[in-house]
Amino acid sequence: MSCHKRLSTETNNNKNNSNNNRVNNKKAWLILLLSTALAVANGQAEANGKPHIIIIMADDMGFDDVSFRGSNHFLTPNIDALAYSGVILNNLYTPAMCTPSRAALLTGKYPINTGMQHYVIVNDQPWGLPLNETTMAQIFKQNGYYTSLLGKWHLGMSRRNFTPTERGFDHHFGYLGAYVDYYDQTLMQNGKNYSRGHDFRSNLQVSHEHVGEYLTDVLTEAAVQLIDQHNATAKPLFLLLSHLAPHAANDDQPMQAPAEELAQFAYIKDETRRYYAAMVSRLDKSVGRVIDALARRQLLQQSIVLFLSDNGGPTEGMHATKASNYPLRGQKNSPWEGGIRSSAAIWSTEFEKLGSVWRQPFYIGDLLPTLAEAAGISLPPTLKVDGLNLWSALKYGYESVEREILHNIDETDAYFAYTKGKWKVVNGTTVEGAYDGWLGSRHATEIDPRAASYEQVIRNTSVWQHLQEVNRGAERNITALRQQAQLGCSELPGTPCLPLKAPCLFDIDVDPCELNNLYEDHRNASFFLDMWDRIEQFAKQAHPPANKPADPKCDPRYYKNEWTWWEDEQQAGDVGVGTGTASKCLCVNNLPFILFIFLATLTGLWL
């Protein structure tokens, strides 16, 4: 064989060997990649041990407007069935308004520590939850959860990076501002000559798909579809179903409900209250449908389900719905118990005392560390949350954790409210005392016809039946639980409280209705002076309010009559032509596949 032929043959053999080696290397890499992907998939399957967390939040619901509190004016059988099957939270506290309450929920911090303490974000104001704050959604997402917000946001929209999918939610379907019409999803801002703007999105995209449908039903259906389609093996679910109901809509038609729902409450003579009952009733049906969906997917055993309101109901004043916080003093946007105590209930198979009333004081900011503990998530100390991890206390049902709750310090309105143990101090008030009275009442004559067979109504709900099945038929004394969930107040008022003239002090354990002011009796007592010092410490460290004045450039007429992130649109020079939408992105909710593509690209396997 000639040297040329030998060299050619050896070259070809070397090429063949090189090709074979390359193929073998590719096969080895492919096996490694598939093994890695499989390991990740197995890790995801192990995440199935974490609980699914479902929070259903009402907007502006009165303390007495769930019938497990004892009212028979109208019934809420599904919410009641959840409450009696789980744990009634008799002392759950929230800030007195929407934006501060939602900020406290998602950050685990008092609003004074995030700048969210004064009033709410009005749609035309260019501010939001500070971007350096870590949200509950971010924490759960970072720890393997699929995070979804359905409904109200109200933590900023003037810039896109204020909005839910930029703050830890994988998915948002709902509205960004304060409230909308229940049917056309628009908001007409009071006192401004802005265009009436549409406010509803699917993630970052404007959505008109459900205009004409009742919003409570739209959000409920979205929750049911999410639960039905969620891959529970791959990731646990964190769902915040943040309803509009029973918040009022625009002032031209604030009370809205489907005709068939309204017809059930013809016995209620007051039209506003009749509509309110129907709005709450539709919300109650939503709770039932969510529980049904979890049961259908066999997810209840692994779920924590919480129902609460973001604050007390507005009986009078702006966006009044004649909600009742009976027998508590005050209402929404006030420092009194009627503004800051929420009717709430939670259910989990982890609880040892299901079918009980829990009297442990519990702040909405406690939910972040408490639910994180339930999910096996360790919060980094750098978060500096104000909330307490009360998972063990809730799980085992003990009520011995004495704690302080700073309800608020609002220097703009010149008031504060603070509780430590059984003592609550209030100094100053809101709206010049307009909401300082006892505004709610019980209706003795207008009674829901179903009340005559109340216990049977509860036991006939699918919620009761599903939860009893999971609880293995544990018996519940519904009548006794209902009685325990009611609050009692003194027959006769004691020393009056005039918060614009002097501080007020109450023993909330014996006087939840804030009838008897004990300030003069204890003003020099060491415990009161310690409380006062603590309040001053909070005030010195408070974050300045983040509120900003209105910006008329928000006007929806500039953005095809959509409420949108107008500061970004202005910066981009799109005023008058902007749609308020963003380009779509391709998102694959499958970590093993993404990992495979990424590694394959790096190693040259992806051809």
Q: Distance between CA atoms of 492 and 291, rounded to whole angstroms? A: 43
Pairing outcome for strands 171-175 and 201-202: antiparallel
35: three-class secondary structure by DSSP? helix
The SS3 call for residue 158 is: coil
Distances (CA, A) of 72 to 116, 275, 277, 375: 36, 16, 11, 37
- Active-site residue, 554 included: no
7-27 burial by CB neighbour count: b if 16+ within 10 A, else e?
eeeeeeeeeeeeeeeeeeeee
| Distance of alpha carbon 240 from alpha carbon 53, whole angstroms | 8
363 bridge partner residues: 93
The residue whose two tokens read 């409920």 is 220
Whether the per-residue pLDDT at 19 is higher than 90: the answer is no
Comparing 14-28, 199-213, 465-479, 551-565, the range with the smallest average pLDDT is 14-28
In whole angstroms, how far apart are CA 313 and each of 96, 97, 102, 309, 443? Answer: 9, 10, 15, 9, 17
Identify the pLDDT of residue 189. 96
Q: Pick the catalytic residue: 52, 73, 118, 154?
A: 154
Report yes or no: 140 and 47 within 8 Å, Cβ to Cβ: no
Amino acid at 411: E
Q: How many CB atoms within 10 Å of residue 396?
A: 11
Average pLDDT over residues 405-430: 97
Residue 582 confidence (pLDDT) above 50:
no
Closest CA to 399 of 88, 66, 94, 101: 88
Residue 434 Cα distances to 165, 291, 398, 441, 494, angstroms:
38, 39, 38, 17, 21
Greatest CA separation for the chain: 120
Q: For residues 239 and 226, is the Cβ–Cβ distance under 8 A?
A: yes
Pairing of strands 52-58, 237-242: parallel
Provide the pLDDT for residue 33.
Answer: 40
Give the up-direction half-sphere exposure of residue 429: CA atoms within 13 A in the CB hemisphere. 23
Per-residue pLDDT at 492:
67
Is pLDDT above 50 for 309?
A: yes
The pLDDT assigned to 392 comes to 97
Closest CA to 68 of 88, 92, 86: 88
CB 445 within 8 A of CB 73: no
Predicted pLDDT of residue 49: 84
Q: What local confidence, expressed as pLDDT, does residue 574 receive?
A: 58
Please say if the pLDDT value at position 460 is more than 80: yes
- Entry field: residues in the chain: 607
pLDDT at 48: 57
For residue 144, CA distances in Å to 48, 54, 342, 440 come to 10, 15, 30, 44
The conformation of residue 291, written as its DSSP 8-state character, comes to H
Active-site annotation holds for 154: yes
Backbone angles phi, psi at 14, to 5 degrees: -65, -40
Residue with tokens 């090709």: 19
Q: Tell me which residue of 354, 307, 417, 348 sits closest to 65, measured CA to CA.
A: 307
pLDDT interval class at 517 (50, 70, 90) = very high
The answer, yes or no, to whether residue 600 has pLDDT greater than 70, is: no
pLDDT tens track for 483-506: 999 998 877 678 999 999 999 999
> Residue 72 pLDDT more than 90?
yes
Under DSSP, is residue 607 helix (H, G, I), strand (E, B) or coil? coil
User: How many helices (H) does the chain have, and how many strands (E)?
Assistant: 17, 17
Coil/strand/helix, residue 303: strand
Q: Could you tell me which of 474, 593, 444 has the C-alpha nearest to residue 86? A: 474
Which pLDDT score is estimated for 573? Answer: 79
Work out the percent of the chain whose per-residue pLDDT is above 70.
Answer: 86
Prediction pTM value: 0.88
pLDDT at 349 over 50: yes
* CB within 8 Å of 70: residues ≥ 6 apart: 64, 482, 483, 485, 486
Count Cα neighbours of 359 within 13 Å in the Cβ-side half-sphere: 12
Q: Please, how many CA atoms are within 13 Å of residue 560, restricted to the half-sphere of its CB?
A: 10
- 575 pLDDT above the threshold of 90: no
Query: Mean pLDDT of all residues in the chain?
Result: 89
d(CA 240, CA 311): 16
Answer yes or no: is pLDDT of 576 > 80.
Answer: no
pLDDT tens sequence across 141-162: 999 999 999 999 999 999 999 9
CA–CA dist 250, 152 (Å, integer): 15
Distance (Å, whole) CA 559 – CA 576? 6
What residues contact 292, with CB distance under 8 A and at least 6 apart? 224, 462, 463, 466
Give the tens place of pLDDT for each residue, 258-285.
999 999 999 999 999 999 999 999 999 9
Distances in Å between the Cα of 230 and the Cα atoms of 199, 294, 439, 466, 605 are 26, 11, 43, 20, 31
**Chain center to CA of 194:** 29
Minimum mean pLDDT range among 46-50, 116-120, 155-159, 582-586: 582-586
pLDDT at 586: 33
> Rounded to whole angstroms, what are the CA distances from 82 to 102, 344, 470, 483, 559?
23, 10, 12, 16, 43
Q: Could you say which of 98, 489, 504, 513 is catalytic?
A: 98
Express each pLDDT in 280-300 by its tens digit. Answer: 999 999 999 999 999 999 999
* Nearest-angstrom CA–CA distance, 322 and 166: 36
Q: What is the set of domains in the chain, with CATH numbers? A: 48-399+452-480 (3.40.720.10)
